[in-house]
Every structure is written in C-alpha cells, then in structure tokens.
Amino acid sequence: MSIPADILRGHTDAVILNVLRQGDSYGYEIARLIYDESGGEIDVTEATIYIAFRRLEKSGYITSYWGDEGGGARRRYYKITESGLKKHAELAHEWQGVERILSKLIGGALRD
Amino acid sequence: MLKRYKMEEKMKEEFKKYLDRKFFFFFKSKQIEDYKDELLDGMLQRYREFTAAGAEKAEAYKKTIAHFGDITKGVGALTDIRLTAKENIRRALRFVVMSLLYFLAVTTVYLTVSVISWQAGGPELWGIAAKYSYALGSLLYAFIISIACAMMAGIINKPPIKRLGVYGAIASITVFLYLLVSFALSDAGATFNGRSVYSITWVIFAAGGVAIIALDLLWSLKTRSKYMMLKFAVLGFLTYAAIYIALSLGLSALGFKAWQLTWLMWLFAAVALLIYLFFKLGNKKNGPTTADDFDETIHKKTDGFTVAEKSEEKPEASGDAE
C-alpha cells in the first residue's frame, strides 16, 4: 500500500519534535528515520524537513549547533527545548483526539 | 580509497555549484551560507545512500536533487528580503550604468570619427563613418548582452535562457555581417545585375536564420525535445526554399528566365507532401483503447524510485538539460 505523503502534512512538526525528544538529530537522519519507521511508506523530501526546522527554531521549540564534520561538510544538529517538549505534548494530545474522531468517522458505525 | 575520496570531493563540488545556482538571487547572508552548508551535508549523505544502493553517479546525483525538492522554499526567513531586493536592484542598476557608459563611449567614437571624416572628406565621408561607427557599435552591444545572458543562464542552469542568449549572439553577428558587407559593397559602388547590393546581401539573414534553426535542432536532438519533428520540418522547408532561391538567382544571372521554371519545385514538393500524408494516414496505428492500456502507458513512464511527497523541483543534471 502506498500512503500519500499528504497524510504527514500538518504533523511534520510533531514528528520532528518527537524524534528530537528522544535524542539530538539532523536532517538526513530524521528523514531516514521517518522512512524506516513507516516501513518505507512515507518518504518526505528534505525540503519539508528543513522548512520545519526553520519554523520550529524560529518558534523557539528547537535549537541547533554545528557538530563534527561528517566526512564531507559541516553538520547541523538539532536539540529540543523546554518549550519544544511542551509543544510536543500539546501536539500529541491533539493527535489523539483527531485519531479518535477520524477512526469513528472513517471506520466506525455512524448514525447510531 | 583515494579514488573514492576524489570522486566524493568532485561530487561535493557539483552539489556546491548546484546550491550556488539555486541561491544566486538571494542576498548572501550568513544564515543563507549556513543553510547551504547544512544542505550540502544532507545531499552528500543522500548521494552516498543512492550509490551504495547501486545507482550510477549521474543517476544518484539526479535522485538526490529530486529528493531534496524545492530548497529555496521558506528561505525568506533566513535572509532579509529587503536586502535581497536591494542586492538585485543594485545589480540591475550596475547593468544600466554599464550600458550607459558603453553608449557614451560609442557616441564619443562616433562624434570623433564624424568630426575627423567631415574635415577630411566632407558630408559623404561623414555619412560612411557615421553608419559604421554607430550601427556597428550598437550591434556589438547586442552581441555582448546576448553572451552575458547566455553565461548568466549557464550559472543559474536555465538552458532555455542560455539558448536564447546564444541565438541573440548569432543574430547580432548576422546583422553585423549583413551591414558590414552591404556598406562595404555599396560604398565600393558594386551592383548586382544592375540592382543594388542590398538585393543580394539579404541572404546573409537567411543564412543566420538557418544557422540558428540548425543549432536549435542539434540541441533538441541532445535533449530529446518533443518539438524535434516540427523543427526538422521547418529546417527542411527553409533549406528547400534556400535551394529554390539560389537556383532561381543563379540561373537568372546566367541569363535564363529561371523563375518561370523553378516554381515547379514547389509543385513537386506539394505533390510529395500529399503522397507522404496519404500513406501516413493510411498506416496510422490505433492508440490505447482500454484502461489497462492507459495504465501500462503511464507505468512505463514512471521512474522506479518513488518520491511519496511530490517535489516541485525537476531533477537537474550536472550538464545542460531541458
């Protein structure tokens, strides 16, 4: 089954915050993680990830620092902040609500 | 190991050039440069992933670029848009100033030549000097601008604009040659069958046009343009017309009433075209008639690598591509 990447739209921030919540990371690694963890169903472009980084950094949810050169070019790592952790908790809670509602609307018995 | 390192270094340079092209029109803030470094690291890693999976260098490069998508999206946050606009306005103003300086120089040359030629030979000599200096000076400008446009388009990897620049340069040379030859021949008092030299020198325009079309065709062959057949047809028509004109003029110059016979060439061409169309329409193959046929057609065109999120960016080769 091929899942359209649109399905991730709107939740990219939550996904990135969740990844960073579990350890500092960088663009390629996060894109790769999403691909592997989704069983190859979701393959986001790097542009999506980097735009999300800019957005999250501007909002103060993540910070960045330059790490050791990865055998080619400078590598920028990202780290979640305290407000980022709160934001993640908020987004995760929101998702649980959406998941519950959509499950009912898409798969549940309606007009009981 | 050393060979692999050198190949990687070369690919790193290719990606750097790509990034420089993509961000060419953005003001070079530190944030933009940092972002480019970050992208470069990501591109190298993605490239290694594709080559490790067995892709050839060029294919891995294209896949990497495609996978990254439109990297200039959202860059507004990294640079002051006012500075970007200021930088581009500054570039445009520099161009205008350079153009004005150039025309000032041409005008100075023209005035100097005019004064000297008037004093030396009166209005007749002045007329010759005036047309050479100003007309040819303007054409030189058009040529320089065309070449600059082609070079700029090469930097930002816009092949259609690059082509236009080259065609502009050829057109400038064509007009330059036409004027130079026409001026020189008419000033020397030459005629053609009792007529002015301008009645023959116009063929230089035709030659220039054919040169542009031939070059465009070669480019289309390289990039497999979908308009290739149309371009072949236009070139074929122009070549046929050129043969007709050359034959007619040549035979007329020898004293024959060529035009009364050479029109038959067009009759022959029309008959040949009709015969060709008759057989082509007769052998026309049927297109896809079922949904499966359509699916097969679509899947054959699909790249094996699936990018789940549609990229707005088409993959760019490291060389020219359309």
Chain A residue numbers with beta carbons less than 8 Å from the beta carbon of B309 are 5-6, 8, 43-45, 48
C-alpha distance from residue B162 to each of A33, A73, A105 (Å)? 40, 31, 54
Whether A26 shows a pLDDT value over 90: the answer reads yes
B68 — contact with chain A (CB < 8 Å)?
yes
CB B65 within 8 A of CB B18: yes
Two tokens at B190?
């030459």
Give the model's confidence band at B298: pLDDT under 50 very low, under 70 low, under 90 confident, else very high: very low
- Cα dist from B4 to B40, B98, B106, whole Å: 18, 46, 54
Q: B202 versus B321: which is more confidently predicted?
A: B202
CB pair distance less than 8 Å for A47 and B69: yes
In a domain, B240, yes or no: yes
B292 touches chain A (CB under 8 A): no
Do the chains contact at A76 and B46, CB–CB below 8 Å? no
Cross-chain CB nearest to B77 (options A6, A42, A58):
A58
Residue B304 has a pLDDT of: 35
| B 251-270 residues inside an 8 A Cβ radius of A | none
Name the residue of chain A whose CA is nearest to B306's CA: A43
Question: Is A40 a residue whose pLDDT tops 60?
Answer: yes
> Looking at the structure, do residues B88 and B69 belong to the same domain, yes or no?
no
- Closest-CA distance, B226 to chain A, in angstroms, reads 29
Q: What is the distance between the alpha carbons of residues B230 and B207, in angstroms, rounded to a whole number?
A: 19
State residue A86's pLDDT score.
Answer: 96
Same-domain status, B217 and B121: yes
Task: Identify whether residues B102 and B241 lie together within a single domain.
Answer: yes
Residue A83 confidence (pLDDT): 96
- Enter the CATH code of domain A5-107: 1.10.10.10
Are B22 and B140 part of one and the same domain? no
Q: Compute how many other C-beta atoms are within 10 angstroms of the C-beta atom of residue A73.
A: 20
With respect to residue B147, please indicate whether it lies within any of the assigned structural domains. yes
Give the C-alpha separation, B9 to B46, whole Å.
Answer: 15
Domain end marker among B254, B276, B301? B254
* pLDDT score of A51: 87
**pLDDT tens column, B20-44:** 888 877 777 788 888 899 999 999 9
Give the closest of A8, A27, A45 to B307, CB-based: A45
Query: B149 in a domain, yes or no?
Result: yes
Task: Please tell me whether residues B121 and B242 are part of one structural domain.
Answer: yes
Min Cα–Cα distance to chain A from B315, Å: 13
The answer to whether residue B185 is domain-embedded is yes
Tokens for A10? Answer: 């709107």
Q: Which amino acid is at B109?
A: V
Residue owning tokens 């520099």? B94
* A1 contacts in chain B (CB < 8 Å): none
Counted across chains A and B, CB pairs separated by less than 8 A come out at 89
User: What CA–CA distance (Å, rounded) separates B23 from B75?
Assistant: 9
CA distances, A57 to each of A40, A51, A60, A63, B172 (Å): 28, 10, 5, 6, 52
Under 8 Å CB-to-CB from B246, ≥6 apart: which residues?
Answer: none
What is the least distance, in Å, from the CA of A112 to any CA of chain B?
A: 37
Alpha-carbon gap, residue B259 to B249, rounded angstroms: 8
Supply the DSSP string of chain A, one letter for each residue. Answer: ----GGGGTTTHHHHHHHHHHTS-B-HHHHHHHHHHHTTTS----HHHHHHHHHHHHHTTSEEEEE-S--SSS--EEEEE-HHHHHHHHHHHHHHHHHHHHHHHHHHS----
C-beta atoms of A54 and B78 within 8 A: yes
How many domains does chain B divide into?
A: 2
Residue of A nearest to B10 (CA): A72
CB < 8 Å to B34, chain A: 76
A28 to chain B, any CB pair closer than 8 A? The answer is yes
**What is the residue range of B222's domain?**
83-254
pLDDT in tens, A46-84: 888 998 998 899 899 999 999 866 556 789 999 999 999
* Domain contains B297: no
* Same domain for B91 and B215: yes
The whole-number average pLDDT for the span B92-120 is 80
CA distance A51 to B72: 9
Residue B302 φ then ψ, to 5°: -80, 135
Answer yes or no: do B14 and B113 share one domain: no
d(CA B4, CA B166): 37
Higher pLDDT, B258 or A31: A31
DSSP state at residue B104: H
Say if residue B44 is in the same domain as residue B140.
no
Q: Alpha helices, DSSP H only, in chain B? A: 2-22, 30-52, 57-68, 81-130, 136-155, 159-187, 198-201, 203-223, 228-253, 259-262, 264-282, 291-301
Minimum distance, in Å, between the CA of residue A105 and any CA atom of chain B: 25
Domain ranges of chain A: 5-107
For residue B302, being part of any structural domain is answered with no
Domain boundary among B203, B223, B254: B254
Q: What is the pLDDT of residues B238-293, one digit of tens each?
A: 778 777 877 777 777 777 776 777 777 888 888 888 887 777 777 555 544 444 44
Residues near B216 by beta carbon (within 8 Å), at least 6 away in sequence: B163, B167, B231
Q: Is the pLDDT reported for residue B167 higher than 50?
A: yes
B120 CB-contact burial (10 Å; exposed 0-12 / middle 13-18 / buried 19+): exposed
Given this model, what pLDDT does residue B296 score? 46
* CA–CA dist A61, B203 (Å, integer): 70
Between residues A109 and B68, the one the model is more confident about: B68
- Per the domain annotation, does B228 fall within a domain? yes
Which range, of A9-13, A30-34, B130-134, B269-273, averages the lowest pLDDT? Answer: B130-134
Q: Note whether B134 and B176 are same-domain residues.
A: yes
Same domain, B137 and B70: no
Contacts of B73 in chain A (CB under 8 A): 47, 51
Calpha distance B55→B41 (Å, rounded): 19
When mean pLDDT is compared over A31-40, B152-161, B230-239, the highest value belongs to: A31-40
Its pTM stands at 0.54
Domain-terminating residue out of B60, B77, B94:
B77
Same domain, B174 and B225: yes
B122 in any annotated domain: yes
On whether both B36 and B115 belong to a single domain, the answer is no
**What's the residue count for chain B?**
322
Q: Which residues pair with A79 in a beta bridge?
A: A63
Position B78 pLDDT exceeds 70? no
